[in-house]
């Protein structure tokens, strides 16, 4: 076994990312981008947006649209951008799709590896720190036009506080700096400015889980209305956003019929407002 950090053998390293950095650095996300010329063919690589997170008393909803683009071309209409990373956390991705998806999958392995080596799970703050380190490790690729930005959500159940608490949301910049969003919502991706504007108007601290899902879906709808890189609900193809709910019972995917109902409700409200002489845009 190749020697690890501090003279330890590789199998003693509790960080799987560090294990790869020591033993197989070519397997890390963004490791194969050497020689990339900034701006060269960047539009030929699929990029994914938009991700939103909405917290409520007892948990948090993470949702993402399904579109990826290559410049002005729709590359994929049904890409998966929201992933469960362990029992009490999930992450959504924006930016260069291939690197971002690889990063989140590696992050999930990182959390599982740590638990197997140490015998305990990382705290939510620890998970955010690990993901920040992984984002920082992709800085070289990001400076060459291959940025990958995650949005992390989670819930930290504790025996000492049986009362429910709000789910937590962490955002990151390309340099790996992390920020906990304490306002109850956040968004990343090219449509994030429009999604945040929608969330600002719709968010309330007394939201239920169902309310939070409805708010997230409507924010994605508003983002798609103004950002061509964000895909709205496709009622013809039956393609809807994907979402994950994280609460004291763990992280789980929201069923597609539930998301479809929320999307249909948004469309029906907008149609009714249009027919009544409201917003005709």
Reported confidence tier of residue 43, pLDDT bands at 50, 70, 90? low
Average pLDDT of the chain to the nearest whole number: 87
Question: Does 49 participate in catalysis according to the annotation?
Answer: yes
CB atoms within 10 A of CB 281: 7
**pLDDT: which is higher, 97 or 207:** 207
Least confident span in 2-6, 107-111, 141-145, 168-172: 2-6
Span 30-34, average pLDDT: 53
pLDDT at 132 over 70: yes
**DSSP-H helix ranges across the chain:** 16-23, 97-118, 124-137, 139-143, 192-202, 209-226, 256-275
Active-site residue identified among 17, 49, 69, 230: 49
Output the pLDDT for position 280: 47
Q: Domains along the chain?
A: 42-275 (3.60.20.10)
pLDDT score recorded for residue 39: 52
Render pLDDT for 6-29 as a digit per residue (tens, 0 to 9).
444 445 566 666 666 666 666 666
Residue 22 pLDDT = 60
As a whole number of Å, the CA-based R_g of the chain is: 19
Q: Kindly indicate the confidence band of residue 86, based on its pLDDT and cuts at 50, 70 and 90.
A: very high
Q: For residue 50, is the peptide bond before it cis, meaning its omega torsion is within 30 degrees of 0? A: yes
């Amino acid at each position: 076994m190749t020697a690890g950090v501090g003279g330890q053998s590789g199998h003693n390293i509790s960080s799987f990312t560090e294990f790869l950095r020591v033993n197989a650095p070519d397997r890390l996300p963004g490791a194969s981008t050497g020689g990339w010329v900034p701006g060269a063919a960047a539009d030929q690589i699929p990029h994914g947006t938009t991700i939103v997170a909405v917290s409520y008393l007892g948990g948090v909803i993470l949702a993402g649209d399904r579109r990826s683009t290559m410049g002005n071309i729709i590359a994929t209409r049904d890409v998966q951008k929201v992933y469960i990373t362990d029992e009490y956390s999930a992450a959504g991705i924006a930016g260069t799709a291939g690197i971002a998806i690889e990063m989140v999958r590696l992050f999930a392995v990182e959390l599982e590896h740590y638990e197997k080596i140490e015998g305990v799970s990382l705290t939510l703050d620890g998970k955010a720190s690990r993901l920040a380190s992984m984002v920082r490790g992709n800085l070289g690729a990001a400076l060459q036009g291959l940025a990958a930005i995650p949005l992390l959500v989670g819930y930290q159940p504790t025996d000492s506080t049986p009362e429910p608490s709000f789910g937590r949301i962490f955002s990151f910049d390309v340099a790996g700096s992390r920020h906990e969003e304490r306002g109850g919502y956040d968004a990343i991706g090219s449509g994030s400015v429009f999604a945040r504007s929608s969330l600002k108007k719709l968010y309330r601290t007394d939201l239920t889980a169902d309310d939070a899902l409805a708010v997230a879906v409507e924010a994605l709808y508003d983002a798609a209305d103004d950002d061509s890189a964000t895909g709205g609900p496709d009622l013809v193809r039956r393609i809807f956003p994907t979402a994950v709910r994280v609460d004291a019972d763990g992280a789980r995917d929201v069923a597609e019929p539930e998301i479809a109902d929320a999307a249909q409700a948004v469309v029906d409200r907008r149609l009714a407002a249009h027919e009544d002489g409201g917003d005709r845009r």
